[in-house]
């Protein structure tokens, strides 16, 4: 019988204004995670540069690159060398004038197991993503890798239970949400604790409602008016936080994910069994008048 335990590692980094430096910093962290037994290694959202969306600035499009491109090629070579799965989040240039916030899953042989383009695009103060990113058109799908079936979404997607449910129904075993989220300077003192707790609680609810493992790597450090709050974490299918990173320091967050636990939890909390699929037609409408 195949080993049901998958070691999941999340890389929590701070970023500089040098793409080359950020990539090599990530390479070093991935090597460390692999040396510690990591099999599925997930990087944070847009890991190879500073978060570009605090302003609407056409110069920020220069950070984008094609897929395949220099960063995915570097990570593909690394995945094959180490025999690990790497989830890479990038600012994708699809064609002239069409850009996406994209996650690429590289299998343990270096091949591209799958690609996901961020579906939900926010437009909030200092998170002006609609200026940069075209909404994804690949849907919510499961990406099969050597070690596990992954449901991969990106940041703002993590607030939508529909996305998590669709990936669960398609057979995902681990949900991954590469993230770039933090506190706005003047809001942290009053709202900071609530914001972080809401963020974590929302994703823990996805783990519970769908009986899945879940990992969310988030960046750290101050960029402009944002302090990225780190706090990367892994939750089990009961929604329990198994391990969590700090709010300030770059680090690797790792946990053993026993995939057999999925069936155990789902047979004790049979939410998928008891869904009333005949009664949910209203979910296809914007509002029910």
Give mean pLDDT, residues 254-278.
Answer: 97
CA distances to 25, 59, 130, 136, 224 from 98, rounded to whole Å, are 28, 15, 12, 11, 26
Residue 31 placed within a domain: yes
Question: Residue 116 domain-assigned?
Answer: yes
Residue 235 forms part of a structural domain: yes
Task: Look at residue 285 and tell me whether its pLDDT is greater than 90.
Answer: yes
Q: What is the mean pLDDT of residues 14-40?
A: 98
Q: CA nearest 51: which of 215, 203, 220, 189?
A: 220
Closest to 133 in 3D by CA, of 121, 146, 145? 121
Number of domains in the chain: 1
Tell me how far apart the alpha carbons of residues 272 and 44 are, in angstroms, rounded to a whole number: 30
Given a cut of 80, is residue 2 above it in pLDDT? no
Confidence check: pLDDT of 170 > 90: yes
**Helical residues (DSSP H) of 223-288, grouped into ranges:** 260-268
Rounded to the nearest integer, the mean pLDDT of the chain is 97
pLDDT in tens, 222-257: 999 999 999 999 999 999 999 999 999 999 999 999
Give yes or no: 257 in active site: no
What pLDDT is recorded for position 1? 40
| Distance between CA atoms of residues 133 and 113, nearest Å | 23
Domain harbouring 236, CATH code: 3.60.110.10
Q: Which residue of the set 15, 42, 92, 118 is catalytic? A: 118
pLDDT tens-place string over residues 188-217: 999 999 999 999 999 999 999 999 999 999
Q: Domain range holding 202?
A: 5-284
Active site residue 118: yes
Q: Residue 289 domain-assigned?
A: no
pLDDT at 3: 77
Residue 142: pLDDT band (50, 70, 90) is very high
Give me the pLDDT at residue 165, please.
98
**Known catalytic residue at 240:** no
Confidence of residue 152 (pLDDT cuts 50, 70, 90): very high
What's this model's pTM, rounded to 2 decimal places? 0.96
Average pLDDT of span 169-183? 98
């Amino acid at each position: 019988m195949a080993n049901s335990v998958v070691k999941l590692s999340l890389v929590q980094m701070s970023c500089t204004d040098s793409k080359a430096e950020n990539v090599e910093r990530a390479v070093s962290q991935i090597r460390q995670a692999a040396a510690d037994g990591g099999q599925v290694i997930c990087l944070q959202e847009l890991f190879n540069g500073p978060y570009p969306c605090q302003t609407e600035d056409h110069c920020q499009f220069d950070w984008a690159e094609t897929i395949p491109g220099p960063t995915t090629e570097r990570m593909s070579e690394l995945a094959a060398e180490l025999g690990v799965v790497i989830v890479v989040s990038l600012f994708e240039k699809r064609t002239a004038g069409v850009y996406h916030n994209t996650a690429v899953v590289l299998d343990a042989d270096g091949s591209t197991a799958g690609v996901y383009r961020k579906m939900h695009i926010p437009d909030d103060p200092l998170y002006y993503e609609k200026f940069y990113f075209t909404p994804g058109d690949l849907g919510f799908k499961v990406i099969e890798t050597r070690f596990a079936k992954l449901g991969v979404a990106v940041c703002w997607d993590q607030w939508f239970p529909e996305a998590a449910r669709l990936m669960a129904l398609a057979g995902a075993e681990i949900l991954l949400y590469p993230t770039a989220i933090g506190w706005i300077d003047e809001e942290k003192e009053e709202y900071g604790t609530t914001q972080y707790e809401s963020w974590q609680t929302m994703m823990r609810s996805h783990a519970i409602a769908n009986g899945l493992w879940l990992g969310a790597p988030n960046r750290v450090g101050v960029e402009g008016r944002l302090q990225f709050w780190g706090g990367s974490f892994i939750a089990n299918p009961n929604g329990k936080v198994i391990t969590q990173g700090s709010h300030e320091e770059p680090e690797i967050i790792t946990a053993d994910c026993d995939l057999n636990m999925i069936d155990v939890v789902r047979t004790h909390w049979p939410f998928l069994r008891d869904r009333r699929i005949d009664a949910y037609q209203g979910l296809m409408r914007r509002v029910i008048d």
